[in-house]
Each structure stands twice: as C-alpha cells, then as structure tokens.
Amino acid sequence: MNVNLSAPVFLVKGSDEVILGDEVSALIAQLVGDGDRTLLLAELSIADHAQEDGGYTIGPVVDASQTFPFLSDRRVVLVRNAAVFSTKDACVPLVQYLEDPLETTSLVLVWEKDPRPNKQSKTPAVPKSLADAIAACGGVVVDTSPGTGKAQGGWLDERISASTLKFDPAARRALVDHLGSDVARLPALLEMLESVFGSGTKVSAPDIEPYLGVSGDVAPWDLTDAIDGGDVSGSLDVLQRMMIGGGRHPLQILATLSNHYLKMIRLDDPEIRGDKHAADVLGIKGSTFPAKKALDGARRLGSDRLAEVAALLAQADLDLHGAKAWPPELVIEVLVARLAGRNRSSQSSRGRR
C-alpha cells in the first residue's frame, strides 16, 4: 500500500471483507513500523462504540484521537466498524476534531458495518461531511474494492506486479484464470507462493500450478454463456468452479438458471420487435444489453425448445427438494448438461436452415 503515512486520518473501505482486512493489516504494519505495537496501537471495537439503548457514540473515537502518546512519540488509533457513524449528526464530534487533528495521532477508520445480528444489512455510504473533513485536513481514503471488468484486471495486475516474485506472462495468466472472480484469495495466495519460492524468484505457470489448489469462483454469467453456447464440457467445468471454488449450493445455481431462462420465456412473443421493447417488457432500466441477450436467446431457442427448458428446470427443482434420491450436485450437473445440449441442438438446427 503506497500512501502518505504522515496523514492525520485514514479511511479504509471496500466491498470485500477479506481484502479490506488484509489492507488494514498492511496499513497498520506500515504505521507502526519498528515501534512497539503495544505502546503505539490503540484499537477500538464495536463494543467501545455501542450504548445500552442500541445506539452508538463517537465519543471514545475522539477521546482516543486526542490522547497524547505515552512512552513513544506517536500513537495509532484503529477504529473498527466505523460505518455505524453513517449520519451527519453522528459524525459531528469527529468532524470538529479533524479541523485541528493532533499531530501525534494517526487515526485509522475502517468503514465496516455493524457485525451484530439484526443490525445494518449493508455498509452505508460515508457521510459527505466526514468525507469533506478528511479531504480538508489532508487525510487519505483507501478504497480496497477490486471492482469489475477492466478495473478488476488492473487491480489484479497491480498486486501481482507488487509481489516479490517475478511472474512470467503465462504464470500471470494461470494465476488470474485460476482465481476467476474469487479475487479475495490473491493476497494469501501470493504470500504462500513467496514463502515457497523466495523473494526475487522468476516463476512460470508449471512452477505455480501445484500450489494453486481449488479453482476460484466465477461469475454466474460465465455459466449461462457457456450453456447458451452449447458447450457441454465447458458448462460442467464452470459449474464445478461455482460449486467447489465458490461454495454455491445447487439451489442457488438453479435460481440463477431459472431467472436467466424466465427472461427468454417472457420475450417469446412475435410482437416484441427490438431491444428497447424487450427491456421495457423486462423492466430493465439503462443499458439494453441484458434485454438483447435474452431476446436473442428466445429467438434462437424458439417456443418448443423453451418449453423443454422450462420442464427441465421444473423437474430439477422437484428433484432438489427430494423427488429423486440423487445428490444435489448430480441433479444440477445433469440439468446443466441437458440445457447446454438443448442449446447446441438449436444452433445445429439453425445452421442447417
């Protein structure tokens, strides 16, 4: 992590808890350096913020930030679950402190939601007043989210390049392909590979493959794209990555497939002429690309084939709920193979016309 370590406050946020935790640990290690962690670091947990009435008080955060160091020249205050202070009113004392922060304090706010049951369902946004106060005092905001698409590719490339190992192009591809969408595994995997090969070692794909373990999860559309393409073998490979690498239950996968084909069934109407009309029917706002894919799929399969697909999905749902004495994994494997087979047959028949 390359940040200005002399900043008075750091706000660390991100969409993945594992990556967020790794980045916080790395930041604290840099701030503490060679100093005595027991003297330098003060950590506040949710228990320090919570009140008996179920609310929260930011007082302990401000008090800790204003405390002068003891037997050291500086102090690091780590605040966990800072997202409980997500309103303008809750942040007032902290905003006031940041108008003139203590030079000997490095305040680290970890923007995590309340971990207790029946509390925040998702992490709220940072209040504008707090964001403005952090910027005004020269603070640092660290967004650890890997993003998607090109942003995720850049995130992966940046962290692989920062490794002490030298990955050749094939090794980089193998590592990225193996992770799939399960990018949170990268920091731990890099650490393990560095311990195996040693700093400065140049590694190839055959070198690292024995240490990669189970392939990571992939996005749901990787499965539906493989099925729609009629690739039976590829569909089953993706399915295994979702179940083993991603820990997805067959019922979750069935829900993904049902939603995918339900869109096509709703668009199986000769009166639907184009992408925009299809998007209106599906209630999709913004880009019409998802509607176009569904409309193309409906036209490719046709009414008879879509009826077969609906029957397969319905039977799989019954089988997963005990109608057939098969393991759930086998039920979903058979379903995926049959769906991919139907798509392959539809493409073959279109090619003959």
Q: What is the pLDDT of residue 351?
A: 53
Among 189, 242, 187, 247, which Cα is nearest to 213's?
A: 189
Length of the chain: 353
Query: For residue 138, what are the contacts with CB-CB under 8 A and spacing of at least 6?
Result: 4, 7, 8
The CATH fold assigned to 220-348 is Zinc Finger, Delta Prime; domain 3 (1.20.272)
Q: Per-domain residue ranges for the chain?
A: 9-143, 149-211, 220-348
DSSP 2-15: ---TT-SEEEEE-S
How high is the pLDDT of residue 251?
93
Q: Tell me the C-alpha distance between 119 and 313, whole Å.
A: 36
Helix 289-318 × helix 250-266 angle, to 10°: 130
pLDDT at 215: 65
Asked if 275 and 295 touch (Cβ cutoff 8 Å), the reply is yes
Domain 9-143 has CATH 3.40.50.2000: no
3 state DSSP class of 274: coil
pTM reported for the whole predicted model: 0.56
Residue 302, pLDDT score: 92
pLDDT attached to residue 347: 66
Looking at residue 46, what is its pLDDT?
85
Q: In a 10 Å sphere around its CB, with 0-12 CB exposed, 13-18 middle and 19+ buried, how is residue 13 labelled?
A: buried
- Which H helix or E strand runs over 75? strand 75-79
H or E segment to which residue 53 belongs: none
In the chain, the amino acid numbered 301 is L
Please report, in tens digits, the pLDDT of each residue of the chain (353 residues total).
667 889 999 999 988 787 888 889 889 999 999 888 889 999 998 888 888 777 889 999 999 999 999 888 899 999 999 999 989 999 999 999 999 999 999 999 999 887 776 666 688 899 999 999 999 999 999 988 877 777 788 888 888 998 999 999 999 998 888 887 778 778 878 887 887 788 889 999 988 887 776 666 677 888 999 999 999 988 988 898 888 877 889 999 999 999 999 999 999 998 998 899 999 999 888 788 889 999 999 999 999 999 999 999 999 999 999 888 888 998 999 999 999 988 887 766 555 55
CATH code of domain 149-211: 1.10.8.60
Q: How far apart are the first and last CA of the chain?
A: 58
Per-residue pLDDT, 139: 95
How far is the C-alpha of 288 from the C-alpha of 275, rounded, in Å?
6
